[in-house]
Homo-oligomer: A and B are copies of this chain.
Amino acid sequence: MNTLPSPHLPPAAALSRIRIVLSRTTHPGNIGAAARAMKTMGLTRLVLVSPRYFPDAQADAMSAGATDVLAAAQVCATLEEALAGTVFATAMTARRRELATEPLWVREAMAELASLVASMEVVRAPGNAGGEVAIVFGNETSGLSNEELALCPRWAMIPCNPEWTSLNLAAAVQIACYELRLAIVGAGDTPIVAEAGARATLDEVDGLIGHIERAATASGFLDPASPKRLMPRLRRLFGRATLEKKEVDILRGLLTSFDQPKKRN
């Protein structure tokens, strides 16, 4: 071997170890919308347990182009089959259950999966033999059966309005995948715009404020003998605004124009 295996999976590899399992889905549109939700968060491995209709044109339409996820989806007869080869499975449930193990909230549950996956060995064998995990979602109306829940060592819930808990299946997949991406990849670089103009230096902002002060005094708006809170307020405003150089130039040009108006023709 030319390279030593890394002790931790990189984020993209970690995401590829996670199966999204939808059990007994009734509406094919939800399968497509779930595929779209997965792909926006960088997940690709969809497993369907006896879906009512699949493949289906409505699934394709609702996937909005995540047809690669649908095309690669594995269809199984049972949840046991869908979980074959996994080392851990988290069941999403909307209801409190009797005799339940204590569920986690989705944020903690996805962090748990992320840390499990991150600690997995990098194995080059086909089929991710180093281990995979699954997140399991039940039927739109009835959720997961007790038999299905019993196959999952962890149960998780999405916090919601206790008076109206009717979360759409694909919306639940979206929230779980969003939390998973944050836990594994993080939000990423702050989305700063590189094209933003160069920031003004503090000296330049001071120059502007001095300019305003002189202009305001000259115009009689500011009485230097009784300045009140005008200048501190302006200073706070421009401090908060984090001005660009170009903007300082514009504002100073404007001030100058008040003092030296151009003659109209």
Chain A residues in contact with chain B, CB under 8 A? Answer: 33, 36-37, 39-42, 64-66, 96-100, 102-103, 105, 107, 157-162, 164-168, 170-171, 174-175, 178, 181-182, 185-188, 190-197
Contacts and interface: CB of A to CB of B under 8 A. Distances in A.
Kindly report how many copies of this chain are found in the complex they form together. 2
Given A39-B161, A166-B65, A195 B99 contact: yes
Contacts of A193: 96-100, 102
Centre residue among A37, A186, A190, A193 by max chain B CB count within 10 A: A193
B99 A191 contact: no
A44 B223 CA distance: 50
7 contacts: A37-B168, A40-B161, A40-B165, A98-B196, A105-B190, A159-B181, A175-B178
Contacts of A159: 178, 181-182, 185-188
Contacts of A186: 159
Contact of A36 (B166, B175, B196, B197): B166
A41 B161 contact: yes
Contacts of A42: 160-161
A105 B36 CA distance: 21
A167 B96 contact: no
Contacts of A191: 96, 102-103, 105, 157
Nearest to A181: B159
Contacts of A98: 193, 195-196
A242 to B, nearest CB: 8
